[in-house]
Chain A
């Protein structure tokens, strides 16, 4: 089965770490070039502005910065690895009806991944690559569509955060009990030591 080779892409990204963030204009230019090479009309200037500014409607300014970061990371990967060629091929194979909507969907899906998270954590990097593949309906090499969906669910950071909340809540309660047990044990130990002040 053909498709994107995520192992190779990850290795290429390891070999080409992002030294400094790409500017918003450069990131947009790189992504637009790939779309054009894939035979797809890129979003207009106004649409790009809306894509980035769309986040301004979000609850915090951070989301706005986040989108710039995310576009920068994608542009870097397109520029420095075979992801650019793979994306062009996917676009030709299955041209999106509305590339602007597809990009909006992608940016919504990768929230709240930061550039640093993607740089330093291979799970976050894999998630970003898989979401980018999913955006352009590209298959993952060696996987069925169902397996790809399942894997994406397994490494979904937002989902993990929500499920993790439950563990954290329980942990806080358990930690309080443990601290009390420890305090009692330490008191007993100090008493047994018989130190004379």
Chain B
């Protein structure tokens, strides 16, 4: 049926018409059937059409289109081109809106951004092809007549926009019950249609859009909507979303204007935790994809925080050291520094005539000290017990401090090994890459606190030229407060270039040192305490500067 409805010449003509609507030619392959794109599993929710940006290919679900609106191919293609060419203009904008909607409709499960861009595209396409678009929605409702409140509102907007009588797109029977459930829904749709497209900026449009649509989404955390011509805007990637986590001035102005116009009761606070936002904006994605994107976003956020603590200071030009190493002999001449005359060598060479023919010994600068030079190796023992939050959900000050140390060492050409522990522990390989180290240090157990003394014992026996840093809190003192542990710590300290305990402590450091025992008196041991968790990263930055000159 689909092949009969859409022979190649019909597809070619529709493709030309769609491009003509946007007055442009595009660098995309002509439409291809969805069936050929077998690599994606749609789970029974095959889209009507979309553009596969990876292969720059327009894909159409011809059988579905033949079933619901066979005369609407040009409008459907024009719709897809509208997304590609204009709405969203960039995926960066799409990311900004996805983040903004979490401030406006917290906990929203499925993003409304696709619906928002559909409204923008359909207004332009509908100027000349409203009847074809209307056929698509009617055909969709013939197959699936159940209309949720938000879908009803959405279609009522098109009825108002295209000047269609109420009930032209929507089932007539749904109008009355929804009017009872949501008094004034028709007037709301009418006002929306007469306001939305006249607003001067995309952000302001989006604030208005969310402020109206939220009414018809009773449980945002359960919101899921399948609409024809939906699901065809790619979700932004990690780069775009990471940039969007922190908002921008234009968004704040749009929110303020939204409040001024009475659309919002209050301007939603700026203080939304970027980690919470990162989790929320990826909530609707499938498991594996969600996990990868979340990890990338969380990692970017911690990198930003690490960078804030590690302001690079331009290196000073090194002055040439004074020359003082004796080298070869040469004749002293008038005008040379008399202090360089080597009288012993002169007498040995010239005997009594040494005074007439003195020789001088050239001096060379000493080569740099090689002892202890070379890339620094750092082992970071990071406490991830349940007393601290999961770093992917809330800012974890200890994780951040560990990342500051790791980034400092790696930026100085060093290598880092992460020992993340709770009641169990995980030892990473030596890491040379800042991003790999950051992700490794984002691992979280969330159980009790058991410092991995056997691991310390083993690793310190393997390699002694290592700076070892323990990042923990007062729980570490409980862990070390028995003889066997003290013994391992002392031995480990003795087999370390430096052993530092960076601890969040409310108590007296002297009492802490007493608990630590003999290791605390070892010349290689340092205890650094932090009273306030908020100062952890700053203290780590200072420590890194002291240890690695970072």
Is the C-beta of B452 less than 8 angstroms from some C-beta in chain A?
no
Given A167-B188, A182-B106, A120:B198 Cβ within 8 A:
yes
Contact B107–A170 (Cβ < 8 Å): no
Given A163-B186, A166-B184, A154:B163 Cβ within 8 A:
yes
Given A155-B194, A164-B191, A194:B183 Cβ within 8 A:
no
Is the C-beta of B394 less than 8 angstroms from some C-beta in chain A?
yes
- Out of A163, A174, A185, A193, name the residue touching B107 (CB < 8 Å): A185
- Out of A123, A166, A174, name the residue touching B187 (CB < 8 Å): A166
Contact B387–A196 (Cβ < 8 Å): yes
Which residue on B lies nearest to A186, using beta carbons?
Answer: B106
Is the C-beta of B526 less than 8 angstroms from some C-beta in chain A?
no
A164: B residues at CB distance < 8 A: 184, 187-188, 190-191
Contact A163–B190 (Cβ < 8 Å): yes
B214: A residues at CB distance < 8 A: 178
Is the C-beta of B193 less than 8 angstroms from some C-beta in chain A?
yes
Within 8 A of B (CB), among A116-133: 120-124
Kindly count the residue-residue contacts between A and B in the assembled complex, taking CB atoms under 8 Å apart.
Answer: 75
Q: CA separation between A167 and B195, bound complex, in Å?
A: 15
Q: CA separation between A196 and B386, bound complex, in Å?
A: 9
Q: CA separation between A193 and B195, bound complex, in Å?
A: 41
Contact B200–A120 (Cβ < 8 Å): yes
Contact A195–B265 (Cβ < 8 Å): no
Which residue on B lies nearest to A179, using beta carbons?
Answer: B265
Within 8 A of A (CB), among B103-130: 106-107
Contact B188–A121 (Cβ < 8 Å): no
A47: B residues at CB distance < 8 A: none
Minimal beta-carbon separation of B4 from chain A (angstroms): 34
Within 8 A of A (CB), among B361-395: 386-390, 393-394
B187: A residues at CB distance < 8 A: 160, 163-164, 166-167
Q: CA separation between A28 and B172, bound complex, in Å?
A: 47
Contact B184–A122 (Cβ < 8 Å): no
B195: A residues at CB distance < 8 A: 121
Contact A123–B194 (Cβ < 8 Å): yes
Is the C-beta of A168 less than 8 angstroms from some C-beta in chain B?
yes
Is the C-beta of A158 less than 8 angstroms from some C-beta in chain B?
no
A163: B residues at CB distance < 8 A: 184, 186-187, 190
Contact B386–A185 (Cβ < 8 Å): no
A171: B residues at CB distance < 8 A: 188, 215
Within 8 A of B (CB), among A151-197: 151, 154-155, 157, 160-161, 163-171, 174-175, 178-179, 182, 185-186, 193-196
Is the C-beta of B430 less than 8 angstroms from some C-beta in chain A?
no
Which residue on B lies nearest to A167, using beta carbons?
Answer: B184
B221: A residues at CB distance < 8 A: 185
Given A122-B198, A167-B183, A195:B394 Cβ within 8 A:
yes
Within 8 A of B (CB), among A128-145: none
Is the C-beta of B160 less than 8 angstroms from some C-beta in chain A?
yes
Contact B194–A121 (Cβ < 8 Å): yes
- Out of B165, B200, B389, name the residue touching A195 (CB < 8 Å): B389
Minimal beta-carbon separation of B159 from chain A (angstroms): 10
A150: B residues at CB distance < 8 A: 165
Is the C-beta of B182 less than 8 angstroms from some C-beta in chain A?
yes
Contact B182–A170 (Cβ < 8 Å): yes
Is the C-beta of B197 less than 8 angstroms from some C-beta in chain A?
yes
A166: B residues at CB distance < 8 A: 183-184, 187
Which residue on A lies nearest to B214, using beta carbons?
Answer: A178
Minimal beta-carbon separation of A162 from chain B (angstroms): 8
Q: CA separation between A194 and B197, bound complex, in Å?
A: 44
Is the C-beta of B359 less than 8 angstroms from some C-beta in chain A?
no
Interface size on B, residues (CB 8 A): 31
Q: Which of B160, B191, B195 has the most CB of A within 10 A?
A: B191
Contact A170–B198 (Cβ < 8 Å): no
Within 8 A of A (CB), among B205-259: 214-215, 221
Is the C-beta of B134 less than 8 angstroms from some C-beta in chain A?
no
B265: A residues at CB distance < 8 A: 175, 179
Given A122-B197, A122-B198, A178-B214, A160:B191 Cβ within 8 A:
yes
- Out of B163, B182, B186, B389, name the residue touching A151 (CB < 8 Å): B163
Minimal beta-carbon separation of B433 from chain A (angstroms): 30
Is the C-beta of B185 less than 8 angstroms from some C-beta in chain A?
yes
Q: CA separation between A154 and B159, bound complex, in Å?
A: 11
Q: CA separation between A189 and B388, bound complex, in Å?
A: 16
Given A160-B191, A167-B184, A193:B394 Cβ within 8 A:
yes
Which residue on B lies nearest to A116, using beta carbons?
Answer: B198
Given A151-B163, A160-B190, A170:B184 Cβ within 8 A:
yes
Which residue on A lies nearest to B389, using beta carbons?
Answer: A195
Q: CA separation between A140 and B537, bound complex, in Å?
A: 71
Contact B185–A167 (Cβ < 8 Å): yes
Contact A194–B193 (Cβ < 8 Å): no
Contact A193–B197 (Cβ < 8 Å): no
A193: B residues at CB distance < 8 A: 389-390, 393-394
Contact B194–A160 (Cβ < 8 Å): yes
Minimal beta-carbon separation of A157 from chain B (angstroms): 7
Q: CA separation between A69 and B185, bound complex, in Å?
A: 32
Q: CA separation between A165 and B187, bound complex, in Å?
A: 9
Contact A194–B184 (Cβ < 8 Å): no
Minimal beta-carbon separation of B168 from chain A (angstroms): 12
B160: A residues at CB distance < 8 A: 154
Q: CA separation between A154 and B160, bound complex, in Å?
A: 8
Which residue on A lies nearest to B387, using beta carbons?
Answer: A196
Contact B194–A157 (Cβ < 8 Å): yes
B200: A residues at CB distance < 8 A: 120
Contact B184–A168 (Cβ < 8 Å): yes
A196: B residues at CB distance < 8 A: 387-389
Which residue on A lies nearest to B160, using beta carbons?
Answer: A154
Q: CA separation between A123 and B200, bound complex, in Å?
A: 15
Binding site for A on B (CB under 8 A): 106-107, 160, 163, 165, 182-188, 190-191, 193-195, 197-198, 200, 214-215, 221, 265, 386-390, 393-394
A-B contact pairs, 13 of them (CB 8 A): A121-B195, A121-B197, A123-B193, A150-B165, A163-B186, A164-B190, A167-B182, A167-B183, A167-B188, A167-B191, A169-B183, A171-B215, A196-B388
Binding site for B on A (CB under 8 A): 120-124, 150-151, 154-155, 157, 160-161, 163-171, 174-175, 178-179, 182, 185-186, 193-196
Going nearest first, the 3 A-B pairs with the smallest beta carbon separation are: A167-B184, A163-B187, A121-B198
Given A124-B198, A165-B184, output 20 extra A-B contacts at Cβ < 8 Å.
Answer: A120-B200, A121-B198, A123-B194, A124-B194, A154-B163, A157-B194, A160-B194, A163-B187, A164-B187, A164-B190, A167-B184, A167-B185, A167-B188, A167-B191, A168-B184, A171-B215, A174-B215, A178-B214, A194-B386, A196-B388
